[in-house]
Amino acid sequence: MTRIDVSLPVASQPSVDVLSDQATRAESLGYDRVWMPETWGRDVVTLLTTLAERTDTVGIGASIMPVYSRSPALIGQTAATLQEVSDGRFRLGLGPSGPIVIENWHGASFDRPLRRTRETIEIVKRVLSDETVTYDGEQFELSGFRLRCESPDPRPSIDAAGMGPKAVELAGRFADGWHAIMLTPQGVESRLDDLRRGAELADRDPAELRTTLSLTCCATEDEHRARALVKQHLAFYIGGMGTFYRDTIAQQGYDTAANEIYERWNADDREGAMDAIPEALVEQLAVAGTPEQARDQLERFTAIDGVDALSVSFPRAAEPNDIDTTLAALAP
């Protein structure tokens, strides 16, 4: 049975209290886990600590914590602490993010993202294993680091984000799970082959890995508003976040649309970029419509063989009422 998680839009909501209320609402509705991303705005660690204190049973997770903005040792310390304050409910999602975020906003070089992700995962696992960490890698060299506090038991699971074949293979080889984003059902199925290949390269059982698909969702009584919010969200990512999302969409059979969205967005034609999104692409990447329509649409994604959890996420411009309606409509 596919689990239903939720990913809250930490940067765009009015306050931490609103986000906390949304998380407790998700807990009461039976969602399995509340994920929080880290992009720009509020940091994910403070928010997850707040949620750990204000919730009781729902899982919490970072999706995704960038591997360039913190050292691997600090990420390990943070994971240990969040596992402690949440009484074992924490799951760590890691990924490289992209050059716009890392180079333009953090001022760091977006160098060898897959290698950095791999080494970060390896180091974090060692930090959390109650051993003295000696590590000689291509990106990091560590000597003599060990948690002074007791290491968490159980160790929090570590997921890796990825859309390309090598990134997903890396998740299969080194992480405990994979976070998928901006993939159609067919795209997910294709990448699951990469995940299995990675697991086999590491002599691991692919069935032990958890696959989570992040799915943009908006359920409101105003169907046109729901679809417009989703289209604005997709246009922003395809057109405004570099070329990787554009190329990922193009590789899934929407080459003409992806390039037109990108070109219009970068010509400051935001409405044109939204108009260039085919209805078929919305249906393949998102859930959008009335609550009844949204529930029906969700079934298309729960039916994907190999996906263990769907993470209900929200358009960038979604307001608290939109989020509340969507949470209620898509609750497990």
pLDDT tens-digit profile of 202-211? 999 999 999 9
State the pTM of this model: 0.95
Copy the structure tokens of residue 150.
Answer: 């007791």
In whole angstroms, how large is the CA radius of gyration of the chain?
A: 19
168, pLDDT greater than 90: yes
299 and 307 Cβ atoms separated by less than 8 Å: no
Under 8 Å CB-to-CB from 313, ≥6 apart: which residues? 6, 7, 9, 214, 215, 216, 217
Which H or E element spans position 286?
strand 286-289
For residue 143, how many other CB atoms are within 10 A of its CB?
Answer: 9
Q: What is the mean pLDDT of the segment spanning 148-170?
A: 95
304, pLDDT greater than 90: yes
Helices 44-54/72-85 angle, 10° precision:
10
Q: What is the mean pLDDT of the segment spanning 83-93?
A: 98
Report the pLDDT value the prediction gives residue 332, as an integer from 0 to 100.
95
Q: What is the mean pLDDT of the segment spanning 28-43?
A: 93
Residue 216, beta-bridge partner list: 286, 313
3-state secondary structure of 42: coil
Report the pLDDT value the prediction gives residue 110, as an integer from 0 to 100.
85
Q: What is the mean pLDDT of the segment spanning 219-245?
A: 95
Under 8 Å CB-to-CB from 238, ≥6 apart: which residues? 245, 246, 249, 258, 261, 262, 265, 273, 277
Q: What is the mean pLDDT of the segment spanning 218-240?
A: 97
112, pLDDT greater than 90: yes
Query: Average pLDDT of the chain?
Result: 95
CA distance 142 to 70: 15
Distances (CA, A) of 218 to 62, 74, 215, 239, 330: 22, 35, 10, 20, 10
The distance between the two most distant Cα atoms of the chain, rounded to a whole number of Å, is 58
Buried residues in 174-207 as b, exposed as e (16+ CB within 10 A) = bbbbbbbbbbbbebbeebbebbbebbeeeebeee
Report the pLDDT value the prediction gives residue 184, as an integer from 0 to 100.
97
Q: What is the mean pLDDT of the segment spanning 180-201?
A: 97
Q: What does DSSP assign to residue 206?
A: G
